[in-house]
Amino acid sequence: MSLLDEAEYQAVKARYIDNLSWFKVSQRIYFSDRWSKKLAQRGLEKVARALFGVDKSIEDYMVS
> What residue ranges do the domains of the chain occupy?
1-31
Separation of alpha carbons 41 and 26, rounded Å: 14
Q: Rounded mean pLDDT of 44-55?
A: 79
- CA 38 to mean position of chain CA atoms: 6
Phi then psi for 62, rounded to 5 degrees? Answer: -80, 140
Smallest CA-to-CA distance from 8 within 36, 30, 33, 27 is with 36
Q: The pTM is what?
A: 0.62
Confidence band (pLDDT; 50, 70, 90) for 51?
A: confident
Q: Which residue has the higher pLDDT, 54 or 48?
A: 48
**According to the model, what pLDDT value does residue 52 have?**
81
Closest CA to 28 of 53, 4, 49, 7: 7
